[in-house]
Amino acid sequence: MGEKTLEVYDITIIGAGPTGLFAAFYAAGMRGMKTKVLEALDVYGGQLTVLYPDKFIYDVAGFPKVLSKDLARQLYEQASAYKPEILFSEKVINLSRIDGGIIELTTDKGVHFSKTVLIAAGHGAFTPRKLGNPSVEMFENKGVYYFVKDKWEFKGKRIVIVGGGDSAVDWALNLKDIARETYLVHRRTEFRAHEGSVIELFHSPVKVLVPYEVKEARGNNRLEAVKVFNNKTGEEQEIECDAMILQLGHVVDVSLFKKWGLEMDGNAIKINGRCETNIPGVYAAGDIASQTDSVKLALLVTGFAQAAIAVNVAKNYIDPKSSYFPGHSSERRM
């Protein structure tokens, strides 16, 4: 455990995903708050960077389309312009209120103090769902992948993608013109992915195997082939490949939030219309937040709006004389 950080910040944001980064910009840039961001990963952007960096996003205002990694970079640059302190690879493990209404945040590296806290942790701590197949797991980082950080490392390779959701179908379509051969293996005939993407998939050069499952992975020092079987007929097929990308969803862990005493709504933190949790001075925004008297929309634009609401309410919480509304950015010298 590192030494205690005696400095008290106005607001500390947990998570440097899109909601957290926009909140950092809004707090430091629009409200002049002393701002800190704590991110468990070693990179900013959350799912934009980790899960689908090369996927186009079409539903962000002002962008006809924008690459996930480009949007993440611009959000980071927007926040960084106002110099919030952003700490990476630092996981918050405890939150508690201490004397004077100050909130103490204990991480795996130290202790931080803040007048308010905004939890913008996406879906919480998530780990990729695995097949539970030892022959596959022995090739992790040796040809078996759960995330695609750089699609160009698959250029000219034979790849097998496993899954039937949006991520699996999107990566199959994204990599089909880069890889030498692309297979998509899904255990059902129905897909959970967007209907338009599934139609595009079946009209693409991707070799779709349904309803097939992975039986065995083999190779010497690296993955060389995958044996799959039809779960209806039992027919087996061996695919020579250089890489297998597993897109089976993620296991979400929100146990920490429950341990902190936060009221939950399933796997989300319960908030009101002011983005307040049941703990005074603690707010939540984005995918991790659930306003129970409203419609739940897991959209970037919803997270951005909640970030602005939470920061403005936090500013008033610290200084009741301050207005909730800071004015328009066009009226201020930024």
Answer whether 217's CB lies under 8 Å from 241's CB. no
Q: Supply the pTM of this predicted model.
A: 0.80
Residue 334 pLDDT: 58
C-alpha torsion angle, residues 140, 143, 144, 149 (rounded to 10): 100
Highest CATH level, class, for 4-126+251-331: alpha beta
Residue 3 pLDDT: 47
Both tokens of residue 250?
A: 């993620």
324, amino acid identity: Y
Residue 332 pLDDT: 56
Residue 24 pLDDT: 98
Inter-CA distances, 69 with 18, 236, 277, Å: 11, 38, 31
Residue 99 pLDDT: 87
Inter-CA distances, 115 with 80, 118, 193, 256, Å: 21, 10, 42, 20
CATH 3.50.50.60 fits 130-248, yes or no: yes
163/209 Cα distance (integer angstroms): 11
Q: Report the chain (334 residues): mean pLDDT per 10 consecutive residues.
A: 68 97 97 96 88 86 94 98 96 93 95 97 79 95 90 95 93 94 97 93 97 97 97 97 93 86 94 97 96 90 97 97 81 57
Listed by start position, the domains of the chain span 4-126+251-331, 130-248
What lies within 8 Å, CB to CB, of 49 at 6+ separation is 43, 68, 69, 72
4-126+251-331 and 130-248 in the same fold = yes
Residue 312's H or E segment, with its range, is helix 300-318
Answer whether 16's CB lies under 8 Å from 121's CB. no
For 175-186, b where at least 16 C-beta lie within 10 A, e where not — what string? bbebbebbbbbb
Phi-psi region of 224 (alpha: psi -120 to 50; beta: other; left: phi over 0): alpha
Checking DSSP bridges between strand 223-230 and strand 212-219, what pairing results, if any? antiparallel
Residue 212's H or E segment, with its range, is strand 212-219
Residue 70's H or E segment, with its range, is helix 68-80
Taking alpha carbons only, the member of 172, 187, 173 closest to residue 243 is 172
